[in-house]
Structure 1
Amino acid sequence: MVLSRNLKNAVIAFLVPLPSIIFYLSFLKHYDSAIATTTASSYDQLYSWCYHHPLLLANALFFFNVNVLFWIIGQFQGSHWLIDPYWTVIPVMLVHYYASHPLTQFDWWRSWIVVTLTWVWSLRLTHNYFRRERWQWGAREDWRFSEMSQQYGKQWWWISLFAVYVSQQVFLIALSLPLYIVHSVNKPLSIWDFVAIVICVCGIVIAYFADTQLYDFMIRNDKLKDLGKPMMPVLDSGLWYYSRHPNYFGEQLWWWGLALFSWSLGYGWTFVGALVNTLCLAYVTRLVEERMLRKEWRAESFRMYQKTTSVWVPWLKSYPCAAKYKKNA
């Protein structure tokens, strides 16, 4: 049963991006004749529009392929799991789309650096996703979606289109704007590009070690639970000693570092994507901590953790914490 579901979801995950990929490859094959034709057919007009509006095309493909198709699949499966693994894949697809569009122009070194960094970020996040999900496809959906489905009840079927998918389009397209700018401006590398590289790499490394430490902590707790022993209520070692959410901090460094690439090219307004994502993550942080406090066996320890430890930015404890965290009996 589990193997069959895993295989079915894996097949779905590999097939769902095909409509966008096939359409885009067709556009690349025919756009030159479409823009040169004076008496254009409807297809030529469509390809001509795609040629002149690369950013709008990216949004159109996202809307029809992700918002609509993913949402329909979610209705049939009763789970909106599909958007989670694709959060890690879509930026990679976007960076190659922007780099291959006929109107593109860019510095080869900057493009190569940004594409490579995007792949490294994606592989890290994809690995963390499947490691957390025990290497299964679609075993569960994001807990926030599950809570919202209970909150909205029968209305969730249509609300989910906006809450799960349209909102993701706003975030992913906005966050990926620097990928578009990098492939729209041909200027040589500057010192700011190297600063951006350092920030992006630091973000990826911090997020990797934070997620690995969290994963190991959860595995240890699962083993303690199976043995009937008290579980550890709070992870307070490694990077988590200095920050309550070092994984979020690392992820934010990545997106702000990426935005610095476009800022160095004269497009500082693209910081809006990273800013909106930071504000959203601040809200998610509050939800996560409220969820932690709802668990009585760890509530007291977590309150102490909140009082002594920085929220995001790794920092020293506010005062020496001599109290031992209570363990679940």
Structure 2
Amino acid sequence: MTTTALIARRQGRVVVVDVTWGVALALAAVAAALVGAALAEGAAWRAWALVAAVGVWGLRLSWHIHRRSGGGEDPRYKRLLGGPLDDVGMGVAVRKVFLLQGAAVCLVALPVTIGAVVDVEWHPLVAVGAVVWLVGVLFEAVGDAQLAAYRAQPRATRPPVLDTGLWRFTRHPNYFGDACVWWGTWLAGGLASGWVAGLATVVAPATMTYYLVFATGARPLEENMMQRPAYRDYARRTSMFVPLPPRRSAAPPTLGG
């Protein structure tokens, strides 16, 4: 986060922290596996499996965000900081963004760091977690690819909203996939280590899901999108988060599940 803060100061925008997010979690997984190996604690095969899982997810996400990012600041960060970075200063950015993001990395990585130094108690849960993780990665990657293909169409001829593919069943398949990745990681790295480890680490996927739905993900993103009549119609028939069959009635938008 210190390195990212220096890059942000140079570029005059804090949105670069979004690229760091996936890389930081992958590095946390590597560090945990190395600590587990040095202490000769935990199951090495699971520790490095978690490194592979978090690495695949994190590096794909960071590369995707880097590739699509433009040269300006994200409006979410302008609202959070109270203005552009050049106006509010780096001190505000460090307190409101980089310190919090660093703490969030430590929190979200708990199932990985605990799983690297604790033995596996329930092996079947590692396999279940791997399946949930795979579902999440597929939802996230396919959803991102479908959105990129939609945006690549000429604005004058493309549909007013993306409501095909995974986007037919959930308005945010990438956020849903992200949540599945971390619930799968918790099953494999936290709960598979026993009830104590599971209860001690469940805060990680729960917090991640809260932020993906309410704090920085789906809900804030839709504040502006709901001003478009076509998107409101789409929201009435499509689940917000959990994939569900489209509704035929004109019911109000719901979280879906």
Q: TM-score, normalised by structure 2?
A: 0.85
8 Å CA contact 1:246, 1:312 repeated in 2: yes
Q: Does 1:128 align with 2:60?
A: no
Q: Does 1:86 align with 2:20?
A: yes
Distance of 1:150 and 1:191 partners within structure 2? 48
2:104 pairs, out of 149, 171, 174, with: 171
Distance of 1:304 and 1:79 partners within structure 2? 34
Deviation by residue 1:206-225 (Cα, 9 ceiling, x = unmatched):
111011001111111xxx24
Equivalent residue pairs, number: 241
Please give the residue correspondences for 1:81-230 in structure 2 after superposition, counting only pairs within 5 Å. Answer: 81-101=15-35, 102-103=38-39, 105-133=41-69, 139-149=71-81, 151=83, 154-155=87-88, 157-187=90-120, 190-220=123-153, 224-225=154-155, 229-230=156-157
Q: Which amino acid aligns with 1:82?
A: V
Distance of 1:162 and 1:275 partners within structure 2? 24
Q: Does 1:300 align with 2:229?
A: yes
Instruction: Give how far 1:72 is off.
Output: 4.1
Corresponding residue of 1:244? 171
Instruction: Give how far 1:109 is off.
Output: 2.5
8 Å CA contact 2:78, 2:84 repeated in 1: no
Distance of 1:278 and 1:183 partners within structure 2? 23
8 Å CA contact 1:106, 1:187 repeated in 2: yes
Q: Does 1:277 align with 2:205?
A: no
Deviation by residue 1:246-300 (Cα, 9 ceiling, x = unmatched):
1100000001111112112021221101111211122231111112134xxxx11
Instruction: Give how far 1:104 is off.
Output: 5.1
Distance of 1:290 and 1:156 partners within structure 2? 27
Q: Which amino acid aligns with 1:78?
A: G
CA radius of gyration, larger in: 1
Q: Which amino acid aligns with 2:106?
A: I
8 Å CA contact 1:80, 1:141 repeated in 2: yes
Stretches of structure 1 lacking an aligned partner (at least 5 in a row): 1-65, 322-329
Please give the residue correspondences for 1:10-21 in structure 2 after superposition, counting only pairs within 5 Å. Answer: none
Instruction: Give how far 1:152 is off.
Output: 7.7
Q: Does 1:265 align with 2:193?
A: yes
Distance of 1:304 and 1:320 partners within structure 2? 11
Structure 1 residues 276 and 156, CA gap change in structure 2 (3 angstroms): farther
Distance of 1:122 and 1:189 partners within structure 2? 26
Distance of 1:311 and 1:281 partners within structure 2? 11
Q: Which amino acid aligns with 1:234?
A: V
Instruction: Give how far 1:185 is off.
Output: 1.0
Distance of 1:187 and 1:316 partners within structure 2? 37
Instruction: Give how far 1:140 is off.
Output: 3.8
Instruction: Give how far 1:244 is off.
Output: 0.5
Instruction: Give how far 1:230 is off.
Output: 4.5
Corresponding residue of 1:55? none
8 Å CA contact 2:122, 2:192 repeated in 1: no
8 Å CA contact 2:19, 2:63 repeated in 1: no
Distance of 1:273 and 1:259 partners within structure 2? 8
Q: TM-score, normalised by structure 1?
A: 0.67
RMSD: 2.3
Instruction: Give how far 1:320 is off.
Output: 6.2
Percentage identity across paired residues of the two chains: 29
Distance of 1:190 and 1:264 partners within structure 2? 6
Distance of 1:89 and 1:263 partners within structure 2? 24
